[in-house]
Amino acid sequence: MSLLRRRKHPFNESFRKPEKEHENGDFSYESKRKKIAYEHEEERPLSKWSCFDTWCWLIGYVCVTWWFILFLYNAMPASFPKYVTEVITGPLPDPPGVKLRKLGLTAKHPVVFVPAAVTGGLELWEGRKCAPGLFRKRLWGGTYGDVYKRPQCWVEHMSLDNETGMDPCGIRVRPISGLVTADGFGSGCFVWTTLVSNLARIGYEEKTMFMAAYDWRLSFQNTQVRDQTLSRIKNNIELMVATSGGQKVVIIPHSTGALFFLHFMKWVEAPPPMGGGGGPYWCSKHIKAVVNIAAPFLGVPKAIPLFLSAESKDISLVRAIAPGFFENDIFQPQILQHVMRLSHSWDSTVSMIPRGGDTIWGGLDWSPEEGYSCDQKREMKNSTLVTNPARAKSAISLTRSANFGRIVSFGKDVAEAPSNDIDRIDFKGAVKGHRAENRTCRDLWTEYHGMGFEGIKAVADYKTYTAESIVELLHFVAPKMMTRSTAHFSYGIADNMDDPKYKHYKYWSNPLETTLPNAPEMEIFSFYGTGLLTERAYIYKLSPTAECHIPFQIDSSTNDEETCLKGGVYSVDGDGTVPVLSAGFMCAKAWHGKTKFNPSGIRTYLREYRHSPPTTLLEGRGTLSCAHVDIMRNFALIEDVIRIAAGASGEELGGNRVHSNIFKWSEKINLQL
């Protein structure tokens, strides 16, 4: 009872006055009661401050502060945030729609938006027992509250059947229709909202704008098989042309939406039952221009680590900062393997595998971007100061360049070694088998379970992979995914476009194995951002927990500033997701003029936008950002889009505008046109 003490009488004993005695010498009854109470006073515990009290006060303080700030925010005038921003940064420019309306521009051509994979909303129409009360609730593109409440159930409903690539039994998830489907991606993340609102400022409304919503998880042809999506888009375009006095539409695809619409243009003119039966001149009659934004025409290297290890540059950086985080038994199965399960069931992600093989992306000893320096300031300084040709040649020879053609290398030494010094053992003949250890591991299903340790070792012993051998590698490590996907996509280069096999829909979304429509009056634009480091190649290693989990991972410990290597990832110029080579090569060379890929000579234009980050936090993501999604809010891009929709041609827009080395890199690619 060390924490307890007796409460003392308020007066000292010496100052007590004795009670008056009775005649017989005894104290009175009252005095006896007080004496007994004093001598036998009960012990009482002291109050003590606990951690629980501290947390209660802290939570109360945070709640009160939050509600007070919220009250002030709702009470202040709507123009107050803008006023504060202008005081700090100066007057804000007019939005593009306001600016162009003052110049007299009005709505002319109907506009069709084609959203990217991942940015379109999906809702539940039929679910299993774990999803009560979610009928027509957003499973994708909303607040994601149910993801946190029941993640296993959410993954089960978002995954597709591994054999068919369609809905699993008892589950129906469908795209949300209307402009609202892709306005934003999650809470507070815009996508199309800024562009739509600026088009509205020059007179556009819902009858002259259409969002071509589709289930981006499916292969492009399967969107027609299951939902008749391609037929709906065809009918809506025909209706918009008819109700606008014959004005052709302007198509605005974003990211993988460009590949989807490339497939659509072949489908709509192909005869049924494989095609839409629109005839060979349907595109010429109905489409004025296709304005592709951040289009990955030739795929992206970023898709490779998604399939191999469910990773990206961001995951690699987390590993570098907190080693062992994703290998923890709690986090690793709950994050990376869920991502792998989803990515291996979505056919849309397979459409992002790099196309064109070594001819486009480079081989063991070369790449189009060879000599690229990620330090742009240093590169400009060197090019300015070194004016003597001999000295310039010497400076270039002394600068080490990454072997970007080696998309995956097991070890930094392999990535840098001369190709003749690399001892490679072919993995395709390795014996594969189930791993018994997985019966005791708490992991989800992945195709790695069927590889066996010999198969995993064989992959690492091949040392390094280029764009062509990457496709073979994926067939080895994920045979079910690749068997299903190769029925819908192709990754090569066509030698003879007259070959009847190229009439099959699997080639329609590959710009190197299909032709543009016969529409000489149509224009094709490629708008994309530059100035951001974008993933191009990777250093891999075997995972220390390979017996239970994903057997490969990016080696985040490898860095080399001179060769643009950070956290196991080599980077080149791009928008943070799509390299310049993928977004710009088709319009810069393969489609430029009359070529075998562009037989009618459709005019093509490149418009690059140099990334400029926001100067203050008040600007949010900024209006000059050119990151893969943020570019949808870029004022310069929006102004160009509005001018095209209002009737401007590519020449009236100013023709090509290039900041990168896309023309130089395109010339290095030996492609017969």
Indicate the domain borders of the chain.
101-118+176-299+504-532+575-668, 122-175, 302-374+401-435+443-497+537-554
Q: How much is the CA Rg of the chain, to the nearest whole Å? A: 33
Mean pLDDT of 617-645: 86
Residue at token pair 């009470």: 75
Q: Give CA 475 to chain center in angstroms.
A: 24
Q: Note the pLDDT of residue 324.
A: 54
Smallest Cα–Cα separation from 119: which of 663, 631, 641?
631
Which residues form the catalytic set?
A: 255, 575, 628
Q: Which DSSP symbol is given to 392?
A: H
214 backbone dihedrals φ, ψ, rounded to 5°: -155, 160
Residues 212 and 113: beta-carbon distance below 8 Å = yes
pTM, two decimal places: 0.83
C-alpha to C-alpha distance for 55 and 85, rounded to whole angstroms? 36
Asked if the model's pLDDT at residue 451 lies above 90, the reply is no
Q: Note the pLDDT of residue 532.
A: 94
C-alpha to C-alpha distance for 473 and 493, rounded to whole angstroms? 19
Instruction: Grade residue 551 by pLDDT with cuts at 50, 70 and 90.
Output: confident
E strand intervals along 321-424: 408-410
Instruction: Grade residue 317 by pLDDT with cuts at 50, 70 and 90.
Output: low
Smallest Cα–Cα separation from 445: which of 140, 161, 33, 73?
161
Smallest Cα–Cα separation from 258: which of 199, 299, 225, 227?
299
Check if CATH label 3.30.56.10 holds for domain 101-118+176-299+504-532+575-668. Answer: no
Q: Note the pLDDT of residue 529.
A: 96
Instruction: Grade residue 226 by pLDDT with cuts at 50, 70 and 90.
Output: very high
Portion of the chain with pLDDT greater than 70, in percent: 75
Residues 255 and 293: beta-carbon distance below 8 Å = yes
C-alpha to C-alpha distance for 164 and 218, rounded to whole angstroms? 10
Helix, strand, coil share of the chain (percent; to 5): 40, 15, 45
Mean pLDDT of 370-377: 76
Q: Tokens for 226, please give them.
A: 């299951």
E strand intervals along 503-631: 523-530, 532-542, 552-554, 565-566, 569-574, 603-610
Please give the single-letter amino acid code of residue 527: F
Portion of the chain with pLDDT greater than 90, in percent: 55
Prior bond of 544 cis (ω within 30°): no
C-alpha to C-alpha distance for 8 and 38, rounded to whole angstroms? 9
